[in-house]
Structure 1
Amino acid sequence: MTRDAAIAQATTYFESGRLEAELAALVAYRSESQNPDQAPVLHEYLTQAIQPRLEAMGFDCAIHANPSIEKTGGPFLLGTRIEDPDLPTVLTYGHGDVIWGQDEQWRDGLAPFELTPDGDRLYGRGSADNKVQHLINIAALEAVLSVRGTLGFNVKIVLEMSEEIGSPGLSEMMALHRDTLQADVLIASDGPRLSATQPTMFMGARGVLGFDLVVDLRKGAHHSGNWGGLLADPAMLLAHAVASITDARGQLQIPEWRPTSLTPKLRAALRDLPVGTNAEPTVDMDWGEADLTPAERAYGWNSFTVLAMKSGNTEAPVNAISPTAWARCAMRYVVGTDIENALPALRRHLDAQGLQKVQIQPLDQGEFPATRLDPDHPWVAYVRASLERTTGKDPHVLPNLAGSLPNDCFAHVLGLPTIWIPHSYLGCNQHAPDEHVLKPVCREAMQVMAGLFWDIGTSTPEMAAK
C-alpha cells in the first residue's frame, strides 16, 4: 500500500497492452457529434463503454438527455462515488464525441475508427481528443483503488457527447445539478502538452468568438468584361474588411480587441514556456504582436483567424463578378476582453473604413468563454508538486490554454478551481486526418495521474494548511 505500488500498477496497465486494447474499443465508436446520423452512437458510448466500467468501481451513474433549448446536443453521464461526505471531492470531466472522421483523407493503411499502432504512435479519431485522456484518468483511479482498497477521497465525473459542437447544454447541466456536483477542485484532461517529454498543467482556456463576414450585393453573377468597373466586387470588399482587422503581420487593429490583462505577473508566468516545441509546423516569429514573445501571443493575447473564405466558383472560375462573398472568422480571446463589445466594435471599425456593405453575422453555435485561475492558487502548487515528484521534471504551468474548452461551466457555474493535465502533444493532428497519441506520453500520463490521485487520498492543500 504505497504510492510507488500504485504507480507501478498504472505502469503495468500500459505495458501489458491493456490501455491500447481498451483505447481501440473506444475509438471504434463512430461518435461524431457533428454528424446527426451518429446520434445513437453517442448514447451507446456512454451506456456501453463508460457506465459499466464506472459502476464496477462503485460509481452511481445516470444518463441525462441534453437540456439545451435547441436539443442539438448529445447525452450526458453524471457519476458519483462517495466514500465519506467529509472527505475531499474531486470532479473530473471528459468528452466521448469526436469531429468528422474525414475517412478519405487519412494516409494509406489508416482508418479513423480503427486504432492502428505505428512505432510510438497510436492512430485513430479520438485517440488524442479526448478518448485516451479520460480513459487514462479512469484507469489511474482504478490503479489507486486496487492498491489501497479505497481512494481516500470522493470522485464525481461528467462525460459529455457534444464538446466538438460547442458543448450545448453543458452549462445548463452544471446549473441543474450544481448541488450534486459540488467539489473541491476540477481535475480533468484535454488538449496538448507543450512538450511531449514534459508534463503540462493549465488552469483555464482562451475563449472563442465565431462569426461570418458576408457581402451579398445582388442576384446572379455578371460578366467581368461588360460589368467590370461598374459593379462593386463583393470579393474585394470582403478582402478589404478582413485585411483591415489586422496589419500585414497579424497585429490586431481594433483597439477593443486588444486585451488589458497581460500584467507583469502574467508575463513572468509565461516567460520560460516553450511554444511549438518538437512539433510541426514551426512558429512564424514575424507573425503576431511584435513586442510580445510567442508564449505571450499564444496564452496572454487575442488572435484573429480566417477559417474559410469563398466567392465565385472556386472549383471552376469563370469570367464573372460574383454576387456574394463569405468568410468564416474566429477570435480567440483571453480573460480581460470585453467580449460583449467585440462585434459592435468590429461594426464601428468596418463602418469607419467605408465598408458598410460588409455584414457581420454571429454564429448561433455554442462558444467557450475565457477562463483563468491564478497560478498562485494552492491547488496549482499542490498538483505541480505531485507531478514533479512522479516524473522528476518541473511541469510547464499555463495560466490558460491557447485553445478553447468548456472550462467556464466548472469555473463559473460551479465556482471551482480548475486544473487540466493534458495527455496529448502539439503534433497529434487533433481535428485533422491521421490523429494520434504517443505511447510514451500515455505511459507517463498513467504514472502522473496515479501519483496525483494517490496524493489526494493522503492530503490536500486544505488539509496541509490545518
Structure 2
Amino acid sequence: MIAKAQAQVDSGAFFAELATLVRYPTVSDAPEGRVAIKAYLDDVLTPRLEALGCAVETHPNPDPAGGPFLVGTRVEAPGLPTLLCYGHADVVGEAGRWSEGRDPWTLTADGDRWYGRGTADNKGQHLVNLTALRLLLAETGSLGFNLKFLFETGEEIGSPGLTEFAETHRDLLRADVLIASDGPRLDAATPTLFLGARGSVRIALDVDLRPDAYHSGNWGGILRNPATTLAAAVASLVDGHGRIQVPELLPPELPDTVRAALDGVIVANTPGDPLPDEGWGDPRLTAAERLYGWNTLEVLSLGAADVDRPVNAIPGRARAVLQLRYVVGTDVGGTAEAIRQHLAAQGLSMVGVTVDGNFRASRTPVDDPWAGWAKSTLDKIAEKPVALLPNFGGGLPNHVFTDVLGLATLWLPHSYPGCLQHAPDEHLLASVAREGLVLATALFHALRERR
C-alpha cells in the first residue's frame, strides 16, 4: 500500500484531482463564494464520499452567518471502532497579487511547490485523507472500522454554528476518535502529530479623546495625546521584549507532560524561515515552549492619524488591535475586565477595551492512549523522527471535538509553516503530500487492526 500511496503523487493522479478541487472559488465571506461552496459539496465531496460507501447528508447551519455542513457515514459493523474525520471546504478570499501572474484558482507546479488557493488550507489536506481511505478500501475491500466524515464550510470565518451543530447532532457524530488534517507540521521535513490548538482572543484598545486634531505647537503639553497614551497602554500589557505583564493573561503552569513532549523540539527549521529573535518572549522557556505551550500577546495593528503623511497636530484618537494566543488552562472569561483594571491602575482608564473571542484552546492529553497509539504507528512507517506537539500554535475548532463530543483528537497535518496559506502564492509541497499520503494510509490501516 505504501507504493500505491506514493504512486498517487508520482503518477500525477493526485495533482490532477487536486486541480479540480482548487478550481472552485469557495470563499466563505463572499456571496459568490457561497454558490461555489454548494457546488463543491455537491459536485466534489459528495461523489467522493459516496465512492467510499458513505450515505451523505447536507445539513443547514443553525447560525445564519455560516454555511451548510456535509456528513458522510459508512457503518460496517456496530462493534467496530468509529472514526470521525473533519475538513473544511471554504478558503480565504483573494489577498493581493500572486507572483508570475498565477491564477489562485488554477493549480500550477513549480518544482516541489503546487500553487493554488486551498492547496494547503484545506483542500489538499482533506484530499490526502480521502485518497488514503480510498486506497485502504480498494486494497482490503473494507475499512475495518466505521467512518464518519464531517465537512464544514465556514472555518475561515470562525466556524459559526459548528458548536451548536455538534451539540444538536451528538448521535450523528458519535465516534471513538477524531483523525483530521489542518494547520502546519512542525516544519517541511518533520512528520508531525498534534493534539489540539491554542485559543485566540482579539483585543481592541481605543483612545478616543476628541473629534478634531489640534496644532502641536499651540496645544502640545496641555492636551493628552491619544497616541502617547495608547503606546503606554500597550507597553503596560506586553513589554518591549514580548513578555506579558498582566498575570491574568497567562496560564497557571506549563505541565510536565507538555514540557517533556516539547523537549528537543526545534522550531523555524525550514530553509528560508526567519530566525527566532534572541531575548524575545519569556526567557525561562524554550522557543518550542513559547510557541506551543505558553501564551503570547501580539500587536496586530497600531495607529493614529496618517502614519505615512503626518502633520504637526495632536491626533484626536488612536487605536491598537492585539491578539492573545492562549493554551489550555488559561481563564479568558475575565480578559476584558482584567485589562481594564490593569490599565486603571496605571492611570489609563480613558483607554477603551473591547474583547472578541474566536476558537477556544483545547487539547487531548499528551499521555492519552490514542496519542500513544498514533505516535507509535507513525514512528514505524516514517523514515525520520515524528514530532508530537501538545497543540499547534494557531486556532482550530478542536474544542468542538474534545469538549462537545468528548473525543481524543489526532491531527496529522500535510502542510508546513511557510505555505502562505492566507496570502498570495499559497502552496502545497509535493514531497509533503507524498509523505503525508503514506502516513495517513498507514494510520488508517493500523486503525482496522486496533480493537
Q: Distance in 2 between matches of 1:198 and 1:362?
A: 36
C-alpha deviation, 1:168, in angstroms = 0.7
Which residue of 1 is the match for residue 16 of structure 2? 21
- Aligned to 1:139, which of 131, 136, 157? 131
- Partner of 1:192, secondary structure, is coil
2:378–2:386 contact (8 Å) kept in structure 1: yes
User: Mind listing any 5+ residue stretches in structure 1 that lack a counterpart?
Assistant: 1-5
**Partner SS, residue 212 of structure 1:** strand
The count of aligned residue pairs is: 450
C-alpha distance in structure 2 between counterparts of 1:30 and 1:225, whole Å? 53
Equivalent pair of 1:285/1:294 in contact (CA under 8 Å): no
1:401 Cα deviation (Å)? 1.0
Q: Can you list the C-alpha shifts for 1:6-30, whole angstroms capped at 9, x where unaligned?
A: 2222222111111111111111211
Match of 2:62 in 1: 67
Mapped partners of 2:304, 2:59: distance in 1: 43
* 1:8 equivalenced with 2:3 (yes/no): yes
**Structure 1 residues 213-222 or 138-147, which shifts more?**
213-222
- 1:273-312 alignment runs, 5 A limit: 273-279=265-271, 280-312=273-305
2:187 aligns to what?
Answer: 195
Residue of 257, 262, 272 corresponding to 1:265: 257
Deviation, structure 1 residue 224: 2.7
- TM-score, reference length from structure 1: 0.94
Which is worse superposed, 24-33 or 145-154?
A: 24-33
Q: Give the 3-state SS of the residue equivalent to 1:306 in structure 2.
A: strand
Q: Which range moved further: 14-23 or 138-147?
A: 14-23
Amino acid at match of 1:310: G
Q: 1:343 aligns with which of 313, 319, 336?
A: 336
Deviates more, 1:277-286 or 1:156-165: 277-286
- Structure 2: unaligned runs, 5 residues or longer: none
Partner residue in 1 for 2:141: 149
Shift in Å, 1:455? 1.1
Kindly provide the CA deviation profile for residues 435-465 of structure 1, in whole angstroms up to 9, marking residues without a partner as x: 111111000111111111111112x2xx2xx
Q: Do the aligned partners of 1:206 and 1:335 also contact (CA within 8 Å) in 2?
A: yes
Percent identity, please: 49
AA paired with 1:448? L
From the superposition, tell whether residues 35 and 315 of structure 1 become closer, same or farther in structure 2 (CA, over 3 Å): farther
User: Equivalent residue for 1:249?
Assistant: 241
Report the AA paired with residue 212 of structure 1. Answer: A
More displaced 10-residue stretch of structure 1: 109-118 or 438-447: 109-118
2:351: which partner in 1? 358
Normalization by structure 2: what TM-score? 0.97
Q: Secondary structure, in 3 states, of the residue corresponding to 1:226? A: helix
Q: Distance in 2 between matches of 1:227 and 1:399?
A: 54
Instruction: Give the direction of change, closer, same or farther, for the CA distance of 1:42–1:226 in structure 2 (3 Å limit).
Output: farther
AA matched with 1:127: T
* CA displacement 1:262-302 (0-9 Å, x = unmatched): 02332122111111111512211321001110011011110
| Map of 2:34 onto structure 1 | 39
Alignment of 1:318-329 (within 5 A): 318-329=311-322
CA contact 2:95–2:422 (8 Å) conserved in 1: no
Tell me how far apart the structure 2 counterparts of residues 223 and 331 of structure 1 sit (CA, whole Å): 36
Aligned 8 A contact 1:213 1:361 in 2: yes
Moved more, 25-34 or 36-45: 36-45
From 92, 95, 105, the equivalent of 1:113 is: 105
- CA deviations 1:389-438 (Å, max 9, x no partner) are 22233310011111111000000000000010000012111212211111
Correspondence list, 1:372-451, <5 A:
372-451=363-442
Matches of 2:311 and 2:425, distance apart in 1: 35
Answer yes or no: is the 8 Å Cα contact 1:299–1:402 preserved in 2.
yes
For residues 20 and 191 of structure 1, the distance between their equivalents in structure 2, rounded to whole angstroms, comes to 20
1:409 is matched by which residue type in structure 2? V
Contact persistence 1:249–1:288 (CA under 8 A):
yes
Query: Is contact 2:335-2:355 (8 Å) kept?
Result: no
Indicate yes or no: 2:121 matched with 1:129.
yes
